Structure 1
Amino acid sequence: MVSVIAQERLLGAALGGVMAAAITFEERKCIYRSVSTNQKHVATQSQEITGTLSTRNPCSRLASLWNATIDGSLGPVIRFLSSRGW
């Protein structure tokens, strides 16, 4: 037969595991709920902002700005190299 101390240790480990699982589950549930609430809030704000800004997304606007800057700054260099046959 298993000693009383071993039974107490086994019971303590089982109860600790159940308690840790319950706390983890509740914390994840709270995190998922807060993320869901924040996503709904952000979605309504982005719809309002999208109505006021242009229809292009920020990444394409950034890419367009980047391309215009590179063309403006390196355009003369490219024309010079093209005239030399490079």
Structure 2
Amino acid sequence: MISVLAQERLLGAALGTALTGIVVFEQRKRIYESIPDHQSQLAAESQMKEKIFGKKSRSEFALLWNKAVDRYLCQ
């Protein structure tokens, strides 16, 4: 049969492996939970930027910019 020392080493290795597996699983779970939050935050920020600088305001800005450049260069 297996000696007491070998049993203790085997038990320690099994418990260590189980503990490491649990820690790795929890860390991965936290990482995967944080990814969708970060992506939704980026999507919300891009929607806010689009609302502030929509197509209409961008085209108006381009028109004003072109007029200003024309005035400066034609003087």
Q: TM-score, normalised by structure 1?
A: 0.57
Within a 5 Å distance, the mapping from 1:43-58 to structure 2 comes to 43-53=43-53
- Partner residue of 2:21? 21
Q: CA deviation at 1:35?
A: 1.6
Amino acid at match of 2:25: F
- Please state which structure has a larger fraction of its residues in helix: 2
Deviation, structure 1 residue 38: 1.1
Q: Mind listing any 5+ residue stretches in structure 1 that lack a counterpart?
A: 56-86
1:33 counterpart letter in structure 2: E
The CA distance in 1 between the partners of 2:8 and 2:2, in whole Å, is 10
Structure 1: 4+ residue segments shifted above 6 A? none
Q: TM-score, normalised by structure 2?
A: 0.65
Question: Aligned runs of 1:1-86 on 2, under 5 Å?
Answer: 1-53=1-53
Distance 1:36 1:18 in 2: 28
- Indicate the percent of aligned positions where both proteins have the same amino acid: 45
Query: One-letter code of the match for 2:21?
Result: A
Question: 1:77: which partner in 2?
Answer: none
Q: Which runs of 5+ in 2 are unaligned?
A: 56-75
Distance, in Å, in 2 between the alignment partners of 1:54 and 1:25 is: 43
Q: Distance in 2 between matches of 1:14 and 1:25?
A: 16
How far the C-alpha of 1:18 sits from its partner, in A, is: 0.5
